[in-house]
Structure formats: structure tokens, C-alpha cells
């Protein structure tokens, strides 16, 4: 467990067995051989109600990997700001790329190259997202976008609300022979924590739905 979790690390917490399709965000307070202490999982200002004996699923990133594990609640601290879990079990390693790759493409309402002030330089018509995570994205576009360029993206999520984010282009891959789309990899810049949490929940929700469809 020590190799996968560290103090201060962000983890996503998904209630097990209650049918919820959204995850909560938590932070590792401390980790030892016999216990894991995390902050009370929260989203949009609301906290996840937990009681001793309940099992939750946790997702943690480490480099190119995402680890899924299960932990049983041992203690909910009286102050209400931390939860102690038994050492997580049933650890499953998932390729980060596979984990964050959504089967369907996502079409932003607006995608454009912008300058340092955020003003539009060039709109990217017909752009679509192929990968999405709390840290960045992969974009498909007919237009070449140079590394170092800044993008502004307005993306609708499942809750009928939009997020407005900026990303810096890290790399651009030219189309293969016979294809027309460039693949643009970007990293979010100055993204509000609330937006990041919404993206993470959206991705986890899609992953849960996909796994349920495959299992059903």
C-alpha cells in the first residue's frame, strides 16, 4: 500500500454497492502498514456519509498507472474531518490511458486557440475530445496546433452545465497516411479545483457506466 499511496495524495472515493455513479474527492492524511487515514470524501461542498464497516472503492494515480482498491471503514473520527480505513485490499492496476479513455467522443461547444490574455486567435471548428482527465485532454482536430499554444474549451458535462477551461498544448501528432485529423495533447492550466473535481467525477461516472454495460 505504501508504494501506491502517500501523504497529501488525492484519491477518488466511490461508494461500493449503493448504485451511485459519482465519485467523491479525498486526500490521504497518513498511511501505515495497518491503516489508511483520509479526509472525509467531498464533492460540491457535500460530504459522503460513512459509518464503520462500510466498504468503499478508492482510485489513486501513480505515474502511468491508476490503482483501484477497496477499503473498509474502521473509524469515522469524532471531529468529522477524517476517516480511518483498514488497509485496502483487492488492488487492481489499470493503465492510466485505458482508464481515462472514453469510448465515445465528446464535442465541446467551443474550442479555440487563444493568446496569453485569453482572447481568441483562431477557432477550431469540428474539434472533439478523445481523452479527458482531471489534468488534461487529448483533442482531435483538422487544424494543426503548435506545441506551446493555449486553448480555450467550453465543454458540456452530464449535469447540463458547462465548464470553461484553458489548456496548454504539449504535443501534436500529425495524421497517419489517409487520415485527416491531428491529435493534440494538452495540460490544463490554472484550472479551478471545482472544475477539476467535476471532470474527475464525470470520468469516473463514465467508467462505471461502461463497466456495468460490459458486465451486463
Residue 136 has φ and ψ, to the nearest 5°, of 180, -165
pLDDT of residue 142: 93
Residue count (the chain): 216
What was the pLDDT predicted at 17? 52
Report d(CA 41, CA 132) in Å as an integer: 22
pLDDT, residue 21, reads 46
- Which CATH architecture group holds 10-98? Roll (2.30)
CATH topology for 107-215 is: Thrombin, subunit H (2.40.10)
Grid coordinates belonging to 36: 489508511
Q: d(Cα 120, Cα 135) in Å, to the nearest integer? A: 23
**Strands lying side by side in the sheet with 101-106:** 101-106, 128-132, 136-141, 182-188, 162-173, 150-156, 110-114, 120-123
pLDDT in tens, the chain (216 residues): 546 788 888 888 877 654 434 578 889 999 998 999 999 998 767 888 899 999 998 888 776 677 888 899 999 997 768 999 999 887 877 655 555 555 567 899 999 999 999 999 999 988 999 888 878 888 999 999 999 999 999 998 876 789 999 999 999 998 878 888 999 999 899 988 888 878 877 877 777 676 666 665
Where does residue 53 fall: left (phi above 0), alpha (psi -120 to 50 degrees), or beta otherwise?
A: left
Locate the domains of the chain by residue range. Answer: 10-98, 107-215
Whole-angstrom Cα distance, residue 190 to residue 76?
33
Measuring CA to CA, which residue among 107, 147, 137 is closest to residue 125?
A: 107
Rg (CA), the chain: 19
Reported pTM:
0.57
Amino acid at each position: 500500500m505504501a508504494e501506491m499511496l502517500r501523504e497529501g495524495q488525492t484519491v477518488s472515493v466511490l461508494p461500493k454497492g449503493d448504485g451511485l455513479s459519482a465519485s467523491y474527492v479525498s486526500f490521504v492524511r497518513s498511511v501505515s502498514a495497518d491503516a489508511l487515514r483520509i479526509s472525509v470524501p467531498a464533492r460540491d461542498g457535500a460530504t459522503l456519509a460513512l459509518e464503520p464497516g462500510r466498504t468503499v472503492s478508492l482510485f489513486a494515480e501513480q505515474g502511468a498507472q491508476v490503482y483501484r482498491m477497496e477499503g473498509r471503514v474502521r473509524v469515522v473520527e469524532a471531529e468529522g474531518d477524517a476517516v480511518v480505513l483498514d488497509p485496502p485490499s483487492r488492488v487492481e492496476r489499470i493503465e492510466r490511458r485505458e482508464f481515462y479513455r472514453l469510448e465515445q467522443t465528446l464535442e465541446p461547444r467551443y474550442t479555440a486557440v487563444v493568446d496569453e490574455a485569453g482572447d481568441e486567435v483562431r477557432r477550431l471548428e469540428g474539434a472533439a475530445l478523445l481523452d479527458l482527465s482531471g489534468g488534461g485532454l487529448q483533442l482531435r482536430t483538422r487544424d494543426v496546433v503548435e506545441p506551446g499554444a493555449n486553448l480555450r474549451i467550453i465543454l458540456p458535462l452530464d449535469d447540463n452545465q458547462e465548464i470553461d477551461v484553458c489548456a496548454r498544448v504539449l504535443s501534436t501528432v500529425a495524421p497517419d497516411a489517409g487520415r485527416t485529423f491531428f491529435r493534440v495533447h494538452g495540460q490544463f492550466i490554472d484550472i479551478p479545483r471545482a472544475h477539476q473535481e467535476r471532470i474527475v467525477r464525470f470520468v469516473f461516472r463514465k467508467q462505471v457506466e461502461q463497466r456495468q454495460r460490459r458486465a451486463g
